[in-house]
């Protein structure tokens, strides 16, 4: 397996984990845009600062670096985007579970 495939698999896997967390624990999702944007900014800080810094702590152990630092950081990024998209859907009156039927 090439490095590109590993990176792609980790990206897809973290997105699927974020989707699972969002579906499994819906009460974790913020109910206000202010809080969702705060999480999005926090995820940006994690992705740009914490993950690269944390990866250097595990220089000799790349497997541990990926699964202890990079994967949770990516899951948080995808989860914060899911939360923001969900709030946008709810404010527009659509989305899953809104009670509106598309049939007339």
Is pTM, for the whole model, over 0.85?
A: no
Task: Provide mean pLDDT across the span 43-56.
Answer: 90
Other beta carbons within 10 angstroms of residue 73's beta carbon come to 21
What is the separation of C-alpha 6 from the centre of its chain, rounded to a whole number of angstroms?
18
> Which residue, 68, 60, 79, is CA-closest to 14?
79
Quote the percentage of the chain above a pLDDT of 90.
59
> Which residue, 2, 7, 3, 25, is CA-closest to 70?
7
Lowest mean pLDDT among 34-43, 54-63, 72-81, 94-103: 94-103
pLDDT band at 38 (very low <50, low <70, confident <90, very high): very high
């Amino acid at each position: 397996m090439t490095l590109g495939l590993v990176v792609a698999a980790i990206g897809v896997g973290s997105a699927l984990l974020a989707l699972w967390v969002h579906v499994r624990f819906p009460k974790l999702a913020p109910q206000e845009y202010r809080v969702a944007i705060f999480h999005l900014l926090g995820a940006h800080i994690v992705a740009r600062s914490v993950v690269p810094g944390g990866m250097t702590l595990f220089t000799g152990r790349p497997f541990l670096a990926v699964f202890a630092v990079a994967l949770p950081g990516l899951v948080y990024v995808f989860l914060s985007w899911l939360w923001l998209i969900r709030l946008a859907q709810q404010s527009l009156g659509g989305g899953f579970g809104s009670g509106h039927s598309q049939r007339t």
